[in-house]
Structure 1
C-alpha cells in the first residue's frame, strides 16, 4: 500500500526542509500545497504569501476542504505506485480528516512544533532574505490561525517532533526512523575479501571474478596495493579503484580510510571509463602528496616498503589535527597541509560540493542496505602485514585484517555475511632492500626455481610473473606457513577460504576445470586447509592467464561455493517471471 506522509505545523517550524529532505534522501514524491494552489488558480499568476492563503481558503470553501486530497490523488496517477508521497503541508483539521477517511493508501501524519520565540526568530531571519515579505507580521504569515487546529494536530499526529533544538538533519533522522526508512542492523549484505598472508595472494583476480555478482564494490587501502584481474578485457591492474570495475556496472565506493594519489587515480578513472554516476569518493579520504612519497624513500631502503606515500600521509593526517602544526613531526621541514578528497578540485565530480557534498560512504551504504543490495568490500595487502598483528617493523601502515578494512570503509561487523580469506600455496614477500635489509620473515624461504621444479613448470615463467603489481620489483617466496595461516584465521574468522596459485602445487592443476579433476596432492592440501581454518575452501584458482592466447579460456577458478548473492537471486527471479 502506498504511503502518504502529511506534514503539519506553524510557519518556520521546518516543514518544507523536511519534505525536501525526504524527497532527496529517500526518493519521496513531493507535493507542495502552495504549488497545488498555484496550479488550481492559474488565472492568478503571481500570488504572494497572503494571496495564497486567501486562495486556499476559497478552495476549502468550494470543495468542502477536499481540494488537497483530490489534487494529491490526481498527481499520484502519474507517479510510480511503489513510490511514497510527502505533502507539504496540511493546514487544517478538516483537510487532515479528508485524508484519514481514505483507505486506499496509508496516511502518516507528521506534526512539527517549536516555541513561539524560536519560530518568530526564524521568521525574522527569513524576512531579511525576502524583501517582499518584510512588512508581513508573523501571525499574519502563519497558515494556522486557530490554536484549536494545533491541538487537533497534536492529538492526531502519528509522529510529533520538537524542532526547537534540532537542525534539518536531526529532524530528518528522527522522522525517517519513525517512518521505518533505516534498515535494521541485522541485515547482512556485505561480503569481504582479505588477504591471509603477506599480500599478492591474488585477491584482485578473485574480486574481479566475483564483481559481477554485486551491486556495490567498495575499496579501502591505498595505491601501494596493485590488484591484478584477468578478464575478457585482458590483464588489468587496479591500483585504487575496486577490482573488476571495468567489467561491471556496479556502484563504486572509495571509503574514508583510503589514501589517494590524485594523478594516478584520475588516470585510472579515465583508463577504466568510470563515470561520476558510478563512482563516489568519500570527502574524508586522505590525499597523498609528493612530499609523502619523498618521506618514505628511507623505508624503501630500510624494509623494502613500496614507498607510495600512504604511511607518511596517514601520519600527517594524525599529526595535522593541530591547526598550529599542520602536519607530521616526521618531516624535517614544514609539512604540507592536510588535504582530504573534499579539498581537491579535480575530484569534485566524485565527491560533490560542500557542505554536504554527495553524502558519505556510510550514507551511501545505508541506502544500499535499504535496497537489499549485494556489497563486496575488497581489502588490501595481507593479514601478515598488519600494522598491529604483523611482525613489526616489517609491516604496512594500517590494519589489513577484516576489522581494519571494515573500519576504513565505515561498515559495521553486523552487516557482514561472508568473509573470504585468500591464501596462496607459496606465500611471498617483496625482495630485500638494495641495502640488504630484509623485507620481513619468511619461515620456509626457498627459490622460485625450487618452486617451479617441484610443480613441474618453467622457472623463467614463474620468475617473470612474480613481480609486484605496483612497483614491478622482484619477490621472495617460501613454502606454506601453517602457524601464520592459523593466526590469520583467528584474526579474520573466515567463512570461506580461497586457494590461489594451485599450479604451484602441480602443473596438472592448470588443466582442471572441476574439483574432482584436481590431483590427489592438491585435494589433500585443500583438506588440510579446511581442517586448520574450520572453513571450506570455496574457490580454487588453478592458474593466472598471462599470455594473450590464454584469454580465450578464462576458466581459472573452480567455484565450489554453496551460496550466492542477493543480486544473483534477483536476476534469477526476474528470468522466471
Structure 2
C-alpha cells in the first residue's frame, strides 16, 4: 500500500495544486476528499496555467481521479470545469464521483448569501458558493447525495421534500423547485456514468499496491474543529479528513505532506496573529501573486507562523513539509518567524480555542537575516544562499518536521525534492 496525502497547513492557498500535480506524476490515482468549488488550485506547466476548483490536479497527469464522498459538488460548476479542461485538450474521461458525495443546488447558494447578510458585521466572509449550507443539510440528514441525484424520480421526490422546509426558513429565496429540477436533471444525465462507490475502488487500488494520492482543499487552520472558529470552512481539510472523506481507513496513509508558504497568507475574516500591513505586505502580495484563485480577493499577508504549522503537524501527523514560494522572500533585509504567542503576559505555543483570545494574542518573533540572491534557478538545497539555508533549517527545528520539498517558482521544474514521499 502507498497512500500519500497532501495537506494545506496554514489557511489555504499554500500551493497544494502545484505539489499535487508534481506528485500525481508518480501516482496511479488521485482522490480529493473534502470541500467544494469554494477553493481553487492553480497549476503551471509548459508555459500554461490552469485554475481548478473541483477536479483533482491529477487530471493533468492522465490519472484516474476521484471526487470523494466528503466533498460537496455543484453539478453545474463541475460540468463547466470539465468543459474548460476539454477546451484545452485535457481529457476528463477518468473522473469518478462518489455516490455518497452531497450535491450543491441553487438554493444552497442563495441561502449562503442570505445567511451572510443576516450576520451583518459578524459575517464569516464565505465565498457564497453554497458550501456551508450543503454541509448543514448533510448533518441534518436532509441532503441530496449523488446516488439520489442521478435517479430522476428520486431526485424529484427528494428535491420537493427538502425545498418545502427551505422556503419556511428562508422566505427570501427566489429559486423554485420546479425550475431547479428541470435544469439539473439534465446535468444528472451527463454526470451519471461517472458516479460509483469510490471507496471500493480506492480500497482495491491500495490492496493491489497501487500509489494513491489524496488531495484536500483549503488549509488546516480552516478546519471546522481545530481552525480559527467560527472563521473556518465546514469540513476537515487536514489528513484527519481523509478517512471520512474518501471511504478508506487511516492506516492506508503512509505519508502526510504539509504544504506551507515561506510566509503566511489568509483570505477573508478572522484572527491572523502575524499579519503584516502597508508597503511590505503589498510587496510580498505582488511578488507572490497573492490573489484568490476563485474569488480574486487580495490575500492578507503575514510572517511565517510556527505555532500554526505545529498545530497542523499535530492534527495531520505530518511526515514532511513542502515549503513554497521561497523565492518571494529574496531581497528582504530581515525575516521574522513567529515562535510563540503572548496571551495576557503568558507565553503559549498552541492556538487558543476562542476568537476573543485569538484576537488578543501577540506574536513572539525571532529575527533572521534575509538574502538578496535570485534563487529561482537553484536545483538543490546546497545552491541556496547561506541565510536561506539557515531560514529553512530554523523552520524545521521550530515545527519538529523535516522539509522534504521546497519550491522556488511556479513551474513544475522549480520544485526541489529532498526526500521522495512515494515509497
Q: Is the 8 A contact 2:276 2:303 kept in 1?
A: yes
Aligned: 1:285 with 2:285: no
Taking only aligned residues, the RMSD between alpha carbons, in angstroms, comes to 2.8
* Pair 1:459–1:370, CA change in 2 (3 A): closer
Q: Secondary structure at the match of 1:510?
A: coil
The CA distance in 1 between the partners of 2:161 and 2:135, in whole Å, is: 15
- Residue 228 (structure 1) shift: 0.7
Match of 1:240 among 50, 54, 71: 54
Residue pair 2:85, 2:91 contacting (<8 A) in 1 also = no
The question of whether the paired residues in 1 share the 8 Å contact of 2:41 and 2:51 is answered with yes
Measure, in 1, the Cα distance between the counterparts of 2:55 and 2:30: 9
Query: Residue 282 of structure 1 contacts residue 351 of structure 1 at CA under 8 Å; is this kept in 2?
Result: no
The alpha carbon displacement at 1:303 in A equals 2.3
Counterpart in the other structure of 2:162:
326
Query: Over alpha carbons, which structure has the higher Rg?
Result: 1
Cα 1:233–1:265, aligned 2, differ >3 Å: closer, same or farther? farther
Distance 1:513 1:347, change over 3 A: farther
Q: Structure 2 CA distance, aligned partners of 1:371 and 1:486?
A: 34
- Gaps of at least 5 residues in structure 1 are 1-187, 432-438, 453-457, 546-553, 566-577
Following the alignment from structure 2 to structure 1, what is the Cα–Cα distance between the partners of residues 410 and 228?
Answer: 29
Residue of structure 1 equivalent to 2:41: 227
Tell me: CA distance 1:407–1:483, structure 2 relative to 1, closer, same or farther (3 Å). Answer: same
List per-residue Cα deviations over 1:306-338 (Å, max 9, x = no partner). 11111111112232539896267794248988x
Q: SS of 2:127's equivalent?
A: coil
Among 71, 75, 84, the residue aligned to 1:271: 84
Distance between the aligned counterparts of 1:194 and 1:460, measured in 2? 22
The 10-residue stretch of structure 1 (285-294 or 410-419) with the greater mean CA deviation from structure 2:
285-294
Q: 2:280 aligns with which of 445, 450, 455?
A: 450
Residues 496-553 of structure 1, C-alpha deviations (whole Å, 9 max, x = no match) = 10101101332532232211111222222221232233332011011225xxxxxxxx
Instruction: Give the equivalent residue in structure 2 for 1:434.
Output: none
Shift of residue 294, structure 1, vs aligned partner = 1.7
SS of aligned partner of 2:78: helix
Q: Take 2:277 and 2:418, find their aligned partners in 1: how far apart are those partners?
A: 32
User: What is the deviation of 1:224?
Assistant: 0.5
Task: Tell me how far apart the structure 1 counterparts of residues 79 and 261 of structure 2 sit (CA, whole Å).
Answer: 32
Deviation per residue, 1:381-420 (Å, 9 max, x gap):
0010111111211111112221113311112101011100
Structure 1 position 209, deviation (Å): 1.3
**1:320–1:326 CA contact under 8 A, matched in 2:** no
Residues 1:311 and 2:127 are matched in the alignment = no
CA distance in 2 between counterparts of 1:321 and 1:209 reads 38
Deviations 1:134-154 (A, max 9, x none): xxxxxxxxxxxxxxxxxxxxx
CA distance in 2, matches of 1:275, 1:449: 43
| CA pair 494-270 structure 1, distance change in 2 beyond 3 A | same
Alignment of 1:483-494 (within 5 A): 483-494=307-318
| Per-residue Cα deviation, 1:81-123 (whole angstroms, up to 9, x for no partner) | xxxxxxxxxxxxxxxxxxxxxxxxxxxxxxxxxxxxxxxxxxx
Among residues 323, 326, 330, which one is paired with 1:499 in the alignment? Answer: 323
Instruction: Quote the Cα distance in structure 2 between the aligned partners of 1:244 and 1:233.
Output: 18
Q: What are the Cα deviations for residues 469-513 of structure 1, in whole angstroms up to 9, with x where unaligned?
A: 001111111111111111111111111101011013325322322
Alignment check: 8 A CA contact 2:76 2:187 kept:
no
Q: Which one of the candidate residues 222, 233, 241 is aligned to 1:404?
A: 241
Question: What's the secondary structure of 2:43's corresponding residue?
Answer: strand
1:213 is aligned to 2:54: no
- Comparing 285-294 with 527-536, greater Cα deviation is found at 527-536
Structure 1 residues 459 and 382: alpha-carbon distance in aligned structure 2, compared to 1, 3 A threshold: closer
1:400 & 1:563 partners in 2: Cα distance? 20
Q: For 1:373-392, what aligned pairs fall within 5 Å after superposition?
A: 373-392=210-229
Q: How many angstroms apart in 2 are the aligned matches of 1:476 and 1:460?
A: 8
CA–CA separation in structure 1 for the residues paired with 2:271 and 2:422: 37
Question: Which of 501-510 and 415-424 deviates more?
Answer: 501-510
Q: Is structure 2 residue 303 aligned with structure 1 residue 479?
A: yes
- How far, CA to CA, are the matches of 2:320 and 2:195 in structure 1? 35
Superposed structure 1 runs of 4+ greater than 4 Å apart = 274-277, 322-325, 327-330, 334-337, 347-350
Question: 2:271 maps to which residue?
Answer: 441
Tell whether 2:408 aligns with 1:555.
Answer: no
TM-fit CA distance, 1:468: 0.4
Aligned residues: 349
CA distance in structure 1 between the partners assigned to 2:327 and 2:3 by the alignment: 30
Give the match's secondary structure for 2:79.
helix
Give yes or no for contact 1:219–1:254 (8 Å, CA) kept in 2.
Answer: yes
Q: Distance in 2 between matches of 1:214 and 1:473?
A: 33
Q: Give the structure 2 partner of residue 190 of structure 1.
A: 3
SS of residue paired to 1:266 = helix
**TM-score normalised over the length of structure 1:** 0.56
| Structure 2 SS opposite 1:392 | coil
Match of 2:116 in 1: 299
Aligned to 1:528: 394
CA 1:344–1:541: 2 relative to 1, 3 Å: farther
